[in-house]
Amino acid sequence: MRTTMWTTMLVASILAGGCAKAPPEMQVIDEAASALGGKARLQAVKTLVIEGEGPAPNVGQNTMPDGELPVWQVTEYKQTIDLATGRSRTQQRRTAQFLFAGATVQRLDQGLDGDTAYNVGPDGAMTRAGAAAAAERRIELLRHPITIVRAALDPAAKISHLRQEDNTQVVDIATAKGDNVTLVVDNATKLPLRVTSMSDNANMGDVAVATSFSGYEDVAGLKLPKRLTTNIDKYLQFDLRVSKNAVDVDAGSLTASEAVNAATPAQPAPIVVTTEPVAKGIWWLAGSGNHRSIVFEFEDHLLLFEVPLNEARSKAVIDKARTVSQKPLTHVVVSHHHFDHSGGLRVAVAEGLTVITHRGNEAFFKDLVARKHSIVPDELEKNPKPLKLELVDDERTLKDKAMEIHLYHLLDNPREGTNLFAYVPRDRILVQADLYDASWQQHLWGENVLWNIEHRKLRVDKDVPVHGVIEPFAQMVKTIKAKPSIPAAN
Ligand SMILES: [Zn+2]
Ligand SMILES: [Zn+2]
């Protein structure tokens, strides 16, 4: 009797629960699902294949810090998603629309199979990518109305923080896998307008990565966007114009091979910094990777040329620079604003170094130093210090009894608007970043570099670069002359 009564009460409460209106956060998701074709249709989708093309700007590589970004034009873009298994693969071909020293046509082929991120090379060989790539691709997979609303419908997902913004409803979604994104839904159409996630960028710190959806079309009982525009912070990252949305077509193989699944995820290469004396009081700090720095010994202090890439590389370089002499390391020349050359700016500031750079970088560097790095706190976030900046206009000489360096602004270069290079008259050494690397496929601005050296009346014997190897200047000239180059403007 007792049992029956309890059972009756339980059934009644379940029924009541079933009839109750969903919480308002969930209503937003339910309405979005209806607008996209209905919950049942959405849940039944097996595969999605998106083809198209569009520009993918190269963030942090513009000629001037506030100038237009150089663009990769992505053609033959194809993203295949198997919604049932959560596998995906993105294949693209891209062409550089800017002066580029490397391969100007590139193919990318990247996949995700469960927790395994993999890359496929031009020869078809599959390799396992790192854990960070897997996490990034899992979030990337949510940057589509169908995938995000399906993920939000998962009973294990948490929907929260409903708010109204302009003519939209906004909710935060924590997916069953623990990824956090924000979804914006149009009040009138109930269609998803945007998915945003927060992530860490080595240079910019906390950044919002937002993908907007527009131009919805009807395909196989669903509404699918014809345009997906992704911005990172204030920069356009990719503006995909969809030429074809296909539903439930053959997805081909998206699985990682057994060998790849069994492989250890790729680890970032260990950082090695070597010390090579170049001349009296001058050391070249090379080692792993292809970003080198140069240390100069003055009478009572040391000066470093370049803190490249990121905090990890630059901290290792700063530590190494401090071992070449007892004198304190006090100054760093940051050659220019490109992200792979200014990636150590913040750690240099945190280490108390005075930054010498071209005046054109002033506002940009002030912004980089002021930015929040709360997602992955760096040294400057944990230990804020003021930026000590010394700005160079056309040229500057740093000189005492022990050392003399001339800094020059690279003039009229089509790729490098704020670049400072150095010249050591005693040893006739050129120190430069991005002017020349012997391994480049083409030296498109080589003639401009030679013109700059001539214009400054420098008698260079040796090139001591940030990228590449130390070479006699005669060899550098020979290499530049042998490869296609645009004529110097002057
Ligand atoms: Zn550069
Ligand atoms: Zn570079």
Tens-place pLDDT, residues 216-236? 999 999 999 999 999 999 999
Question: Ligand 2 centroid vs 73 CA: distance in angstroms?
Answer: 21
290 CA → ligand 2 middle, Å = 9
Range from 39-48, 251-260, 272-281 carrying the lowest mean pLDDT: 251-260
- Tell me the CA–centroid distance for residue 476 and ligand 2, in Å: 17
User: What's the CA gap between 261 and 276, in Å, rounded?
Assistant: 41
User: For residues 194 and 386, what is the distance between their CA atoms, to the nearest angstrom?
Assistant: 37
Ligand 1 center to residue 432 CA distance, Å? Answer: 10
Separation of CA 62 and ligand 1 centre (Å): 8
Q: Tell me the C-alpha distance between 483 and 490, whole Å.
A: 19
**Ligand 1 center to 420 CA (angstroms):** 11
Q: In the 3-class helix/strand/coil scheme, how is the chain assigned residue by residue?
A: CHHHHHHHHHHHHHHHHHHCCCCHHHHHHHHHHHHHCCHHHHHHCCEEEEEEEEEEECCCCCCCCCCCCCEEEEEEEEEEEECCCCEEEEEEEEEECCCCCCCCEEEEEEEEECCEEEEECCCCCEEECCHHHHHHHHHHCCCCHHHHHHHHHCCCCEEEEEEEECCEEEEEEECCCCCEEEEEEECCCCCEEEEEEEEEECCCEEEEEEEEEECCEEECCEEECCEEEEEECCEEEEEEEEEEEEECCCCCCCCCCHHHHHCCCCCCCCCCEEEEEEECCEEEEEECCCCCEEEEECCCCEEEECCCCCHHHHHHHHHHHCCCCCCCEEEEECCCCCHHHHCCHHHHHHCCCEEEEEHHHHHHHHHHHHCCCCCCCCHHHHCCCCCCEEEECCEEEEECCCCEEEEEECCCCCCCCCCEEEEECCCCEEEECCCCCCCCCCCCCHHHHHHHHHHCCCCCCEEEECCCCCEEHHHHHHHHHHCCCCCCCC
Is residue 11 scored above 50 in pLDDT? no
Residue 485, pLDDT score: 67
Quick one: which ligand is closest to 64's CA?
1
The Cα 213–Cα 245 span in angstroms is 13
Amino acid 21: pLDDT: 73
Res 150 pLDDT > 90: yes
pLDDT at 488 over 70: no
Q: What is the pLDDT of residue 22?
A: 85
pLDDT > 90: percent of the chain = 90
Ligand nearest to the CA of 308: 2
Ligand 1 centre to CA of 201 (Å) is 18
pLDDT band at residue 20, thresholds of 50, 70 and 90? low
Strand partners, 355: 332, 389
Query: 312 CA to middle of ligand 1, Å?
Result: 20
- CA–centroid distance, 21 to ligand 2, in Å, is 57
| Tokens standing for residue 338 | 């490109």
Ligand nearest to the CA of 340: 2
Find the 340 Cα to ligand 2 centroid distance in Å. 6
Closest listed ligand to the CA of 338: 1
Cα 477 to averaged position of ligand 1 atoms, centre (Å): 20
CA 145 – ligand 1 centroid, Å? 37
Residue 13 binned pLDDT confidence (cut-offs 50, 70, 90): very low
What pLDDT, on a 0 to 100 scale, did the predictor assign at position 148?
A: 98
pLDDT tens readout for residues 91-115: 999 999 988 988 899 999 999 999 9
Ligand 1 centroid to Cα of residue 416, in Å, is: 6
- Measure 311 CA to ligand 1 centroid, in angstroms: 18
- Least-confidence region, from 13-22, 25-34, 46-55, 405-414: 13-22
* Helical axes 145-153 vs 24-36, angle rounded to 10°: 140
- Least confident range from 10-19, 267-276, 430-439: namely 10-19
Mean pLDDT computed over every residue of the chain: 94
| Residues 287-294, mean pLDDT to the nearest whole number | 97
The closest ligand to the CA of 99 turns out to be 1
Q: Per-residue confidence at 483, pLDDT binned at 50, 70, 90?
A: confident
